[in-house]
Amino acid sequence: MRKINTFILGSLLLITSVLTGCKSIANLTAKDGGNKNKRTAVKPNSKPVFLEDIEVTPGSVVQSKHKPGTTKQKKTNIPIPKQMLEPDTTVKGNIELCNILQFRYAIIMDETVERLSNIKLLNKINEWWGTPYCMGGKTKDCIDCSSFTQAMVRDIYKAELPRTAQEQYDACQHIDYEDLREGDLVFFHAGRRRKEVTHVGLYLSNNKFVHSSSSNGVIISDLNESYWRHSWRGGGRVVITAP
């Protein structure tokens, strides 16, 4: 009888220990599962961070925190367009492609480059530039005022003028100062001989005219200079009669 009671008591203890172990295992499993969920959960307001410290958020511009200039770039030599080294003399009105003579005489005449479009006229002035003055002369060695205008009108405008300044004045259509334009003649008198034309030049633009000066040879002068203002006789336009 005592053996049976001992067996029953042992069996109850075994069953109790088994049940207690299962409950402990179940609690451990539930606890581990909860921790696992907490580790893998993603907060909705967190900012994903990628490599090189670049942060990305929806609707924003991607910006790098790297400082500029940390990488060296190779320098490259960009070739200069040919037309900038050798201006195209046939192009007119484009300041980047103007002939060198246009720049030179634009400075002398205080004029805009684009307005000096008569390249043939500028070339002819340049040919004669600085030629000394001499009475009766008509060559590149020396030339007087009326021979110079005679040569310029013949070579540029294909018209013939009489020999002397007075004869040229008489042969022209007289015009006012305000009506002067490129190619017109400008006439002057000297001293007390106000009725007699003693000097002539070729009008260009911006009150400037080219002539053979007794003191400086072939040069460009300004009609606003005191001497020429007081010596002014009138303007003349060459009239070309049809054959």
Which residues have a catalytic role annotated? 145, 199, 211
Q: How many CB atoms lie within 10 A of CB 212?
A: 26
| CA 125 – CA 217 distance, rounded (Å) | 12
Q: How many CB atoms lie within 10 A of CB 155?
A: 14
Task: Evaluate whether 203 touches 157 at the Cβ level (below 8 Å).
Answer: no
Is residue 6 exposed (0-12), middle (13-18) or buried (19+ Cβ within 10 Å)? exposed
User: Phi/psi of residue 18, each to 5°?
Assistant: -65, -45
